[in-house]
Structure formats: structure tokens, C-alpha cells
Structure 1
Amino acid sequence: MTQAPFRVFLVEDDQGTLHRMAEIVRANPEWNLCGMAANYSDAAQWLELHELDVLLTDLGLPDGNGKQLIEQTRAQHPKAEIMVISRFGDENSVVEAIKAGASGYLLKDESPEHIASAIQQLLQGGSPISPAIARYILDYFQHGETAVSDVPSNEAVDNDALLTPKEKMVLQYISRGYSNKEIARALEISPHTVASHIKRIYQKLAVNSRNEAVFEGWRMGQLSMRQQTQSSSATASQKDPRQIAQALREAGKSVGDTLEIVQVVFSLNADQTLQVLMQSGFGANDLFGVGRAQLGLDDKTLIQKLLALGFTHEQALQAMLAQL
């Protein structure tokens, strides 16, 4: 039996963009442009009377906010997919749209091919986000809603966010007496990258030596001394957790089960655990899910950790959206 075309409802007040988007939808035989509206009132009334599979909407409507339309659609048509197609707006509008229930966010000036591909991703359960928008939203989650000066005062510094997760790991190895080459081997990065991390650590902690960095890091809450009591044999075998995690994954263990086992066996902290899971083949979505559910980390912290592990802004954002 042939599946009926997906019903797409388009809401856009700019007539040029409305017709352009309509042509993109009509060009795909698997989609049916079942309705169009140029303002909030007409769109809200249409939603009361019709069914749909996809809502494509602008946020800035002449008589209302697209967020309200998203909330109405989510309430009346819970199975519908929702994607915002808008001009580059302020981060609050983007975040509010996602919180209201949007699964994707694209800029109007994307190519027709890109927009068509994004709609297809949306229908397949994805969360397509324009790269520029992804970076914009992640800046919001990383830095919060309150803007701060480029050079914050000591009172305004959030100690937990002073060093990045990767810098904290480097500082931890420095405190154990590791050389740059040994840190590079342990973290599987280049000695040059280690040197860059150390330079930034010195700058952030306002120190000039490793001993000073360790002392200031401990004093400011950037360094845990708990692991200093571990034996050298326990810290030297950095690849063992990854090998175990990879074997567990290949044996069909879930990311949650794998996390529990490697944490218990190797006494890893959150940063080390996420790194081991990534190195063993688990993706950003897996890490975000267990980071939230089992490590108790908030979204802002998880985004920062994924970026520190080398995931792109778009991957980190999509991992967050997958948990909504």
C-alpha cells in the first residue's frame, strides 16, 4: 500500500519567501502542501480545522509570535514535526522556539536543496539545524542568558566554568607529575596541543609554573586532589577502560550499562568516563543521554563537555534536542 504524501503546512508573512518555500515543498512528490498562512490568526484557525504532518513556520508574524503557533501545534497535533524557518534572529527567540517544541531551525537563505534535505531529515526523526544557528544557540547555553564583560571581575568568575573539561584533565595529569609527552599519549592528542592547553591554563589561573598551576587550581576548585592517592599502575594504564568499553559495546551492552561498569572498575570521573565512551564508539546522543540521566549533568555542562571532546556545535546541539 502506497503511503499518502506528508501534509505540510507553511506559515510565512513575507510573500517572496512564502512562494519560494511553497515551491520547495511542491517539488517533492512525497509531500503535500496542504495549507499556507501569512499571519498568526489565519494559521491558528487553520490548525483548529485541519490535520498536518509538518509545520514550517516563521517566528516573526505580524499579529503574533511563532512560538505561540508552535505551542498550539504541539498541543493539538502532538505527532506533527515542527521546524522554524526564519531570518537570523536573537538567541532568545531561537531557544524559546525549541523549548516550545520545534525540532529544527533553519535560516531562510539556505539553498532549496538544503531546506528540502532538512525537511526530509525532520520526517525521519532528525533535528536539522543550520550550522550558524547551532553555534548561536550553543553560545546561549554555554554562557547563559546574562551577558558578562570580556574581562570579568574575580567576584563574577564561575570557578566551575573557568577551565574547560579538557584543561582540567591536563591540569590533573600535571598534578601527578606527567610530562607533556606523557599527557599527550594519555589523552591521545599531540604534544603541541598539550602545550596550548597548558598555556591557556597558566593564563586563566594567572600563574607561571606547573607548581603554581596545581596550587591555584586546587585553591580555586579546578583540581580534585582525591585521585592523588591512586597507584601509578592504576593511572598508567590509560587505554584499559577504553578497551573494556569497546568490548562491552561490541557485545551489545547499552551505553548506560557500559558507563556503570567502567566507572565501578576504574573509578573514573565524569570527564574521563565520557572520553572513554566516545573513544569506544558511542556517539554524541549516547553521551548526552547518559550524561544527563546517570552522571547528573545539566544541559549547559554537557554541551561544554561534548565540545571539549571534539564534537561539532551542530552535533552537540542535536544531541541535546534528541533528549527533549
Structure 2
Amino acid sequence: MTEAIAPSPIRVFVVEDQTKILKNQLRLLESNQDITIVGTALSGEAALEEVPRVTPDVLLLDLGLPRMSGIDVTREVKARWPQVEILIFTIFDEEDKVLEAVKAGASGYLLKGTPADKIIEAIKEVRAGGTVIQPSLARRLLRHFRVEPDSSPVPTEPVASPPAPAAPETPAASEASEPLLKPLSNRETELLQLIAKGVSNSEAARLLNLSKATIRTHLEHIYRKLEVTNRVEAVTEGIRKGLISV
């Protein structure tokens, strides 16, 4: 019987301009066998020189870098090496920059001081094609939509009394419901609420007893219905419309 081949460690590159924080991050990460640190940099400029040489899978990137910002680094890395996943480290008063970094191509963000196990989990999540969002910034990100959470009642008529499965929808009914936001299913709402709590795709799959592929499909449906492109926007839009709470 042949032995199962263990997956290769995830190649991680860390960019942090404060040496004390950098050393602490390395200490937390180096003890994990699923992670291998392939390089570090104290600036965005140095990172761009090293990335093509060490070919990381995931870039852990400080948002508040001197000179070349984390947003600029994100934009440059995704333009030149789109296969590299970027995970942003941020602080509470940088929510505007977080949104810009996500738009520039970052796969998610973590607050500085996040426990090591959560950092490892986030690295694995983005490496697998997922996205990482922490609920503690979700409400603060709402301001970028220039609206307050929608306090108007969610229409209950189509939700409270769903049509029987056997009853076909008439063209007139379809046209009448077209202007309204297409409602999320119960499962989609449940998943969106989990995402707002910071749950990863893997955790959601376990909690909902679904496959990760099914979770990704549900996420695609959520994004399409809410007219968004990532988790940050989905959670923010879900809160704004009163579909979920954090």
C-alpha cells in the first residue's frame, strides 16, 4: 500500500515595517507545519523585489506601510502575479483603506493581534480560493456606502407566504416582482449570517453539513442577488438591508 503524500506547506511571505511585530508574526507562524515562511520585507518596495524570486502562495501584508502603501503593493502584486493571494493586516481606524485594498485585489483582512490559529486558518482559506472577513469592521465599512442600515421593514408578503412548489409563476407575477431585490433563500441568509461572524468556508461547510463546493455555489448566488463581488460587500449590504445583524 502506498502512503498518502502530504500536501506541500503553504508558502508565505510577510511584509511588516515594524521589526518587533514582524518577529512576533514569524514566531507564531513558523511553528505550524502547514506553513513555510519563504521571505520577509520591511517595505512594499522590498517586497516587490523579492516576490518573483521566492514565489509565495500567500502574502501577509501590513496595510500601513511607509512610502508605498499596502494598497499600492496589493494593486502591483495582483497586476504582476495574480496567482499570489493577499491577506491584509489592519487596525480599527483603517476601514477606508481596507475597502480600497479589497477592491485592489486583497482576498481578505485580519486585525492586528489576531490569534495565531485564526491567522493560520485565514492563510489556508485564501490559499483555497476563499475570502476572509472579520465582523468587527463590518459595521464601520457601512459608511463607505454613504447610507445607514435600512430601517424600513423588509417586505413580508412574498417571504411569509411563499408560493407552493407546484404552482408555476405567471409572467405577470414575474414582472411585478422584478423591481424588488430577489430575496435570499433561508440557507443563503444563514450562510451570510455566518460569514458576518467571521466564519470561513470550511467552518461554514462543517456547521451547515454541506460540502465546500456547495458553500461556494451559495456564495455566488448571494453575490449575484445582492449585486456585490466579495464577502466584505456582501456582509455590508446584508446589514444595510436588514437581512442580517452583527
Instruction: Indicate how the Cα distance of structure 1 residues 262 and 80 shifts in structure 2: closer, same or farther if over 3 A, else same.
Output: farther
Could you tell me which residue of structure 2 aligns to residue 278 of structure 1? 185
Could you tell me which residue of structure 1 aligns to residue 19 of structure 2? 15
Q: Which of 229, 239, 244 matches 2:161?
A: 239
Could you tell me which residue of structure 1 aligns to residue 40 of structure 2? 36
Q: How many residues align?
A: 209
Q: Which of 133, 140, 158 matches 1:136?
A: 140
Long gaps (5+) in structure 1: 144-160, 170-182, 189-237, 249-257, 294-298, 314-324
Instruction: Indicate how the Cα distance of structure 1 residues 63 and 263 shifts in structure 2: closer, same or farther if over 3 A, else same.
Output: farther
Match of 1:126, SS state, is coil
The CA deviation string for residues 174-203 of structure 1, in whole angstroms up to 9 with x for no partner, is xxxxxxxxx7xx487xxxxxxxxxxxxxxx
Give the C-alpha shift of residue 20 in structure 1: 1.6
For residues 140 and 262 of structure 1, the distance between their equivalents in structure 2, rounded to whole angstroms, comes to 39
Long gaps (5+) in structure 2: 193-218
Bigger RCO (CA 8 Å, 6+ sep): 2
Could you tell me which residue of structure 2 aligns to residue 287 of structure 1? 222
Is 1:164 aligned to 2:150, yes or no?
A: yes
1:252-267 matched pairs, under 5 angstroms = 265=173, 267=176
The CA deviation string for residues 249-305 of structure 1, in whole angstroms up to 9 with x for no partner, is xxxxxxxxx9xx68864532554631xx423x3354323313439xxxxx9799445
Native 8 Å contact 2:141 2:236 kept in 1:
no
1:80-95 matched pairs, under 5 angstroms = 80-95=84-99
Higher helix share: 1
Could you tell me which residue of structure 2 aligns to residue 310 of structure 1? 243
Could you tell me which residue of structure 2 aligns to residue 46 of structure 1? 50
Native 8 Å contact 1:262 1:273 kept in 2:
no
Native 8 Å contact 2:223 2:234 kept in 1:
no
The structure number with the bigger radius of gyration is 1
The residue type equivalent to 1:268 in the other structure is: S
Could you tell me which residue of structure 1 aligns to residue 122 of structure 2? 118
- State the TM-score, normalized to the length of structure 2: 0.70
The CA deviation string for residues 199-253 of structure 1, in whole angstroms up to 9 with x for no partner, is xxxxxxxxxxxxxxxxxxxxxxxxxxxxxxxxxxxxxxx5233x43xx89xxxxx
Could you tell me which residue of structure 2 aligns to residue 101 of structure 1? 105
Instruction: Indicate how the Cα distance of structure 1 residues 262 and 26 shifts in structure 2: closer, same or farther if over 3 A, else same.
Output: farther
Q: Percent identity?
A: 26
The residue type equivalent to 2:113 in the other structure is: D
Native 8 Å contact 2:182 2:225 kept in 1:
no
The CA deviation string for residues 27-72 of structure 1, in whole angstroms up to 9 with x for no partner, is 2211110001111221121124231100001022223211121122
1:172-187 matched pairs, under 5 angstroms = 186=157
Q: Which of 62, 71, 75 matches 1:71?
A: 75
CA RMSD, 1 decimal: 3.4
For residues 170 and 237 of structure 2, the distance between their equivalents in structure 1, rounded to whole angstroms, comes to 22
Instruction: Indicate how the Cα distance of structure 1 residues 9 and 264 shifts in structure 2: closer, same or farther if over 3 A, else same.
Output: farther
Native 8 Å contact 2:222 2:234 kept in 1:
no
Give the C-alpha shift of residue 95 in structure 1: 1.4
